[in-house]
Amino acid sequence: MDQFLINKDSAVPLYLQIYTQLRQAILQGVLPPGSRLPPTRRLAHQCGVARLTVTEAYSQLKAEGFITSRQGSGTYVSDSLPATAHIPRHLLPETQTPLSAWGERVMSTKPRVERPLSPRPPIDFGFGRAFHHIFPYDIWRKLLDRYLSTDDAMLSRYGSVAGFDPLREALAHYLGRLRGVVCRPDQVVIVSGAQQALDILARLLLEAGDEVLMETPGYVDAYAVFQAFGAQVAYLPVDNAGFPVESIPADSRARLLFVTPSNQFPKGGTMPLARRMALLQWAQNHGAFIVEDDYDGELRYDGRPLSALQGLDKNGRVIYLGTFSKVLFPALRLGYVVLPPELTEPFIQAKRLVDRGAPTLTQAAVSDFINESHFERHLRHLRAAYGKRREILVQALETYLPDIVQYSSTPAGLHVMLFLPPQVEETAVIHKAAQAGVGVYAGARYHLQQPAPPSILLGFSGLSEEDIEEGVRRLAGVLRGGGNSEG
Amino acid sequence: MDQFLINKDSAVPLYLQIYTQLRQAILQGVLPPGSRLPPTRRLAHQCGVARLTVTEAYSQLKAEGFITSRQGSGTYVSDSLPATAHIPRHLLPETQTPLSAWGERVMSTKPRVERPLSPRPPIDFGFGRAFHHIFPYDIWRKLLDRYLSTDDAMLSRYGSVAGFDPLREALAHYLGRLRGVVCRPDQVVIVSGAQQALDILARLLLEAGDEVLMETPGYVDAYAVFQAFGAQVAYLPVDNAGFPVESIPADSRARLLFVTPSNQFPKGGTMPLARRMALLQWAQNHGAFIVEDDYDGELRYDGRPLSALQGLDKNGRVIYLGTFSKVLFPALRLGYVVLPPELTEPFIQAKRLVDRGAPTLTQAAVSDFINESHFERHLRHLRAAYGKRREILVQALETYLPDIVQYSSTPAGLHVMLFLPPQVEETAVIHKAAQAGVGVYAGARYHLQQPAPPSILLGFSGLSEEDIEEGVRRLAGVLRGGGNSEG
């Protein structure tokens, strides 16, 4: 061991440098079992460090069992140290693939994830983004600070699995008043987002091979969850009034239906009352559960949001999902599920196993945010800001692309899905738009049927009003075959 | 409809009170399809509200499809409204139980959750709690505030699934330096706690029926995850040096081993090097993965913490779990997993499906907390405070119970597991201790073998030094048959 590399300028303590090198030498067999280590005094001299430094390195090696002292005769590499050699993979006994069937399916659904455009175009119609200038961060900061004090033991305990009780109460009250949801606080469970709720529900309610019924175009991340789970995913094309209940095949054995009645995702459109009632009746007759994803139910710009499907359900068939990603901010990772009474306890027990519950601090802050009227005020601001942006987008579409595209007229949500003329290739449009400095996003991945009608998504929630108009102007140039319309 | 209940003092807007009652009447058939609603002017007069209020209620009902206007002839309940009646359960066609096999198993593992003692005893040896006076909340608040500004768009986007990159880098560096973990930042994935990591790993690596090998006594929440998954859980009783690798049956077909080498949970004790090397060799020979739960590796009170098993692994068999619950605070809900390269991408894809990633703000704050040396300073304070408490607890045990109990001498962790004399009934001890104002916790639930040796757990991290000594004094009274030893 003459090859010690000691760097006195390193942030790594000297003892640790010596320890690491000795350990490495022992593990690699450079210092074989039974071999004697130099006395601490000599090694210290050799390395130019204090003797205490070497002693410290030896103590750590001793504590970990790499070396032993023999009374009066020095320090030796442990005799009992068995070697593990790195065995090249082809010499190993044939083992199974390390992934489960679920793992293999998870890997096979991977390509559906869209990569962001690079470089990010100056006018980016990316969606699902909050318009960050609107969120009242100063209020949020004050609400967090309230709980961040050493006098408060709340954070030093594990929280409740089902969620912070004041938040569950605030949500039950809010949802009843503004979304027409009928529930008690104990039916509300806080989750880390709609995605987690779907994953838990699939595991709780389905066996691999069971049928799930979805909308197309639809929420692909739900599709991915069900597909990875091994469910048989059937789907029905939506029209301008959402999920076509009357088209459910008579022989459907679906145990779970996933729908977005308030504002169909991503096409847009609201499910009328007759379809809602028929859907509830269908679920009741077939013993199926309906997952109602009310992902942006609050974001309706023509007056009051429509009530949720859940409120019409008298037989406990509807599971209601809500999220704060769209109305507070996405990085919050907080959502909620309202469960029929018979599923509440199983869901909570599953949540306990899956991650023990959501972070208390965030929940406490959201709870105060709702109870102290900040939430409804913020929603009003959001509706004004997003409603205006949607109007500008629609006006720009009317101005620059009056005949070329079709889209839902429902004044809601954070994006518009444009259906392009059938002969247009959507990837070419996306590519050319990017060259013109405009980011638009592929509709194909939201369609479960193939071939999908060409379509693109324009998210407007992250853009200024000027950029929306200018973006559509450039997009029109692209769609009219003008290619790069900059300048 | 003479029975309108209007409360002008309610926080619920008047239009909403009218809307809700009309909607209810329609849904219940009190107002059947085709029946005519009173003109707005008359209803307004009848209820003593402005006509606009009634108009608003009607508009909402119209938008939702409950009622329709016929030109010049008034407003009617929609004809097309299909009724869904509440059908009593016994009249329904026989349906399957709503829960999947997984759901049924989740419900059957439920009783293992321990209810807190009520009322909470004045001296409560509950464990897993942080001592909240130590955490530097003022620093934490400043770190959060840094990101809570409207100029920062970070929070308005969805974060990275694998975790906030600066945190992954900070952890790789920290773990390498202080826990002997050998990894690149891209092998580190942020999770919402060890529980979530275990759940994802079970799904990713196991098929129902596969064998998992655990320690007993052991981490019951891991046991619950594997059991709910449908795995065959085998276990080996630990001794004072952790998991007895040499006792693994020759015919074991375990695909996953769950171990706590740094400080066996909950018994205490450290796995010596020879066993560690033998365990790695075993996993390598059998193509199994080892989950190393380093839940409190930082909390060692006799000098430097021992290095992790992961750092000895040359063949990518070890999956390393860490958590901030013990060293920051439990309500944070943040942990991390260090994966062998071949499992990194599958784990990230699974995490994407399961909940899309951890909250960005918390991760950014933890990242700065580590990088700006607050973490190591905080760990020093924790070690001093907890080490002192453990010493006081051990001294009190020596003073008041010199011969009655046995426990691990490893100076680590946040609790001590006391093994009681074989004839003692642990539930009786817990009950009598509670009467004496002392909360101690059952060891039985941590033992997978039955009958389990009687034992209790004393967590010391949430108690003052005085309370620890006084608590043990009273417990001694209970164990010596003195019953209630207060006064």
Q: How far is the C-alpha of B365 from the C-alpha of B78, rounded, in Å?
A: 55
Spans of all domains in chain B: 14-77, 113-129+384-479, 137-372
Per DSSP (E only), the strands in B93-142 are: 123-124
Closest CA to A195 of A311, A354, A361: A354
Burial B328-344 (b: 16+ CB within 10 A, else e): bbbbbbbbbbbbbeebb
pLDDT band (50, 70, 90) for residue B91: low
- Report the pLDDT value the prediction gives residue B127, as an integer from 0 to 100: 79
Chain B residues with CB under 8 Å of A314 CB are 27, 84-86
Rounded distance, CA A301 to CA B486, Å? Answer: 66
Q: Do B95 and A195 touch (CB under 8 A)?
A: no
Per-residue pLDDT, averaged over B266-293, amounts to 94
- Span of A151-165, B212-226, B259-273, B473-487 with lowest mean pLDDT: B473-487
Strands (E), B18-133: 67-70, 74-77, 123-124
Close Cβ partners of A384 (under 8 Å, ≥ 6 residues apart):
none
pLDDT at A298: 86
Task: Name the band, by pLDDT with cuts 50, 70 and 90, for residue A118.
Answer: confident
Predicted confidence at residue B302, as pLDDT, reads 83
pLDDT in tens, A282-312: 999 999 999 999 988 888 888 767 789 999 9
Residues of A in contact with B66 (CB under 8 A): 273
In Å, how far from its chain's centre is CA A208?
23
The reply to whether B203 touches chain A by the CB within 8 Å rule is yes
**Segments of B298-447 assigned E as strands:** 318-323, 335-338, 415-419, 438-439, 441-442
CATH class, range B113-129+384-479: alpha beta
pTM for the model: 0.87
Asked whether the beta carbons of residue B224 and residue A353 sit closer than 8 angstroms, the reply is yes
| Average pLDDT for chain B | 88
Q: Read off the pLDDT of residues A39-80 as tens digits, 9 standing for 90 and up.
A: 999 889 888 899 999 998 898 888 888 898 887 788 998 886
Instruction: Convert the pLDDT of each residue in B422-469 to its tens digit.
Output: 999 999 999 999 999 999 999 999 999 888 999 999 999 889 999 999
Beta strands in B109-244 (DSSP E): 123-124, 188-191, 211-216, 232-237
- Alpha-carbon distance A172 to A176, whole Å? 6
Task: State yes or no: pLDDT of B83 exceeds 60.
Answer: no
Q: What sign for the dihedral angle of Cα B435, B436, B437, B440?
A: negative
Does B397 have pLDDT greater than 80?
yes
Mean pLDDT value across residues B279-304: 91
User: Quick one: pLDDT at residue A83?
Assistant: 54
Residue A91: per-residue pLDDT: 52
Which tens digit of pLDDT belongs to each residue from A26-45? 877 788 888 899 899 988 98
Q: Report CA-CA distances (Å) from B218 to B192, B337, B462.
A: 21, 20, 22
Question: Which CATH architecture is the domain B137-372 placed in?
Answer: 3-Layer(aba) Sandwich (3.40)
Cβ within 8 Å of A, B 342-361: 342-343, 345-346, 349-350, 352-361
A404 or B366, higher pLDDT: B366
A378-405 mean pLDDT: 93
CA angle B346, B350, B353 (to 5 degrees): 145
What percentage of chain A reaches a pLDDT higher than 90?
A: 57
Say if residue A150's pLDDT is above 70. Answer: no
Is the pLDDT reported for residue B416 higher than 70? yes
Smallest Cα–Cα separation from A383: which of A413, A410, A409?
A413
Domain A118-129+379-479: give its CATH code: 3.90.1150.10
Q: Does A97 touch chain B if contact means CB atoms closer than 8 Å?
A: no
CATH 3.30.1050.10 fits B14-77, yes or no: no
Per-residue confidence (pLDDT) for residue B325, from 0 to 100: 83
In the structure, what pLDDT confidence band is assigned to residue B487 with cuts at 50, 70 and 90? very low
A10-24, A224-238, B225-239, B268-282: which range is least confident on average? A10-24
Would A118-129+379-479 and A137-372 be classified into the same CATH topology? Answer: no
What is the model's pLDDT at position A438? Answer: 96
Which of A100, A199, A219 is the best residue to mutate to test the B interface, defined by the most B CB atoms within 10 Å of its own CB? A100
Residues from chain A contacting residue B108 (CB–CB below 8 Å): none
Model pLDDT for residues B296-323, shown as the tens digit of each residue? 888 888 876 778 999 999 899 999 999 9
- Quick check: B288 pLDDT over 80? yes
Specify the pLDDT at position B81: 67
Chain B residue numbers touching A133 (CB-CB < 8 A): 150
Scan residues 143-202 of A and list those with Cβ closer than 8 Å to B. 144-145, 148-150, 152-159, 177, 191-193, 195-196, 199
